[in-house]
Amino acid sequence: MKTEIKTAIIFGIMIVSGVTGLSLVFSSLETSQTPITTEIEKQSSIYTLDKSSFKIAPDLVGIAHYINTTPEELSEEIKGKVVLYDFWTYSCINCIRTIPYITAWNEKYADEGLLIIGVHSPEFEFEKDLNNVKMAVDKNGIRYPVVMDNEIKTWKAFENRYWPRKYIADSEGYIRYDHIGEGEYEQTEKVIQELLEERATKLGLNVAAAEPLVAIKEFEHTSLRTPELYFGYKFTPGRNQLGNAEGFIPGNDVEYVIPEELQLHNYYLGGTWKNLEGSMELVSEEGIIKLQYFAKEVNIVAANEAKLSIFIDGKPITSNYAGSDVVSGEIHIVEAGLYNIIKSDEASIHTLEIIVSNPGFEIYTLTFG
């Protein structure tokens, strides 16, 4: 009897051990199959994604010049890539503020299948000059391809109306993301990561782990700041902020007199200025630009060599207000482009006066932040 009991116990232990072993085997199989199932699901979701609601990115058309690339190189490079199209122009302060993020993304993701194309669509005539754009590309450390869309044909093909604007197309050419203006950098980078992961999965490549997002301090705009002020008469319909009683007389030299009282967000001219489509050109030996603004940053877009003496609230500008292009209270215009006049920590109302000493100087816009 004792022998039978022992035999039964041994047999029972064998059964329990077998069941446990089989359980471990099945558990191991399930664990090993999980990544495979996830990968299949990923690929399935990619191949079944309905893209009928997405537009195909248009071809680059009417390109005058290619920087950092050639037409042939770009045509080959674009195939099968996730492409970020950045519409910009080099004298636009809003565009300039986005460039550090874009150059960082280029450095970070180019080897993973991201292609960035800077579509330089000019707002003003001087922005069509190849040398001007090349200098801006070098100054801003841009290493990705830049195409000069001088006749705004690619701009129109994308049905664009804004600077800056970013479109991101997936590896099949479908536009999957569109953002106007500054901001939303984290969201934009997450889209880049998602589309690169989608591309890698589709191609059967190893998918890199999610990387930390680019950390750059974003410029904080002042709410209700002075709007951009245009000096060319073709830009003024619906936004004429020339405060002088003389107003615009297209194509003519006009002698302007600054009134005693200034209205906030308007600009005033002193001296004789030629009214041009995109700018005002100083004709007299000396000219004055005066305005009351509300902002913490003021920039000027100007051309032709000139010396600008800067005054704030009736006094020579001091270091706590001087912008990055102000040296000893003056700005020297040496090439057509954007110059920073005012940079302060807090937004407030001030009277800005710019005294210009060189005939031929042209001013296009004043922008605020």
What local confidence, expressed as pLDDT, does residue 238 receive? 86
Catalogue all structural domains in the chain, each as residue range(s) with its CATH number.
65-203 (3.40.30.10), 229-368 (2.60.120.260)
The contacts of residue 295 (CB under 8 Å, 6+ apart) are 222, 225, 226, 342, 347, 368, 369
The amino acid sitting at 358 is N
- The yes-or-no verdict on residue 276 having pLDDT over 80 is yes
| Mean of pLDDT over the chain | 89
Strand duo 65-67 + 146-148: pairing: antiparallel
What is the dihedral sign for C-alpha 220, 303, 363, 133? negative
What angle, rounded to 10 degrees, do the helices at 185-203 and 93-109 form? 30
For residue 20, what pLDDT band results from cuts at 50, 70 and 90?
very low
The contacts of residue 33 (CB under 8 Å, 6+ apart) are none
For residue 135, what pLDDT band results from cuts at 50, 70 and 90?
very high
Tell me the pTM. Answer: 0.85
Rounded percentage of the chain residues whose pLDDT exceeds 70 = 86
- The yes-or-no verdict on residue 144 having pLDDT over 50 is yes
What local confidence, expressed as pLDDT, does residue 162 receive? 97
What local confidence, expressed as pLDDT, does residue 31 receive? 35
The contacts of residue 277 (CB under 8 Å, 6+ apart) are 232, 233, 234, 250
- The yes-or-no verdict on residue 103 having pLDDT over 80 is yes
**pLDDT tens, position by position, 161-187:** 999 999 999 999 999 999 999 999 999
Least confident range from 12-21, 85-94, 121-130, 349-358: namely 12-21
Rounded percentage of the chain residues whose pLDDT exceeds 90 = 80
What is the spatial distance between Cα 126 and Cα 109, in angstroms, rounded to a whole number?
A: 33
Question: How far from the centroid of its chain's Cα atoms is residue 107's Cα?
Answer: 16
Q: Are 102 and 168 in contact (CB under 8 A)?
A: no
The answer to whether the bond into 100 is cis (omega within 30° of 0) is: no
Task: Please name the helix (run of DSSP H) or strand (run of DSSP E) that holds residue 103, with its range, or none.
Answer: helix 93-109
For residue 114, what pLDDT band results from cuts at 50, 70 and 90?
very high
- The yes-or-no verdict on residue 35 having pLDDT over 70 is no
For residue 211, what pLDDT band results from cuts at 50, 70 and 90?
confident
For residue 329, give Cα distances in angstroms to 1, 296, 317, 318, 321.
Answer: 112, 18, 6, 7, 10
User: Mean per-residue pLDDT for 255-266?
Assistant: 97
For residue 102, what pLDDT band results from cuts at 50, 70 and 90?
very high
* 9 vs 170: which has the higher pLDDT: 170
**pLDDT tens, position by position, 244-259:** 999 999 999 999 999 9
User: Mean per-residue pLDDT for 58-85?
Assistant: 98
DSSP state of 31: H
What local confidence, expressed as pLDDT, does residue 269 receive? 98
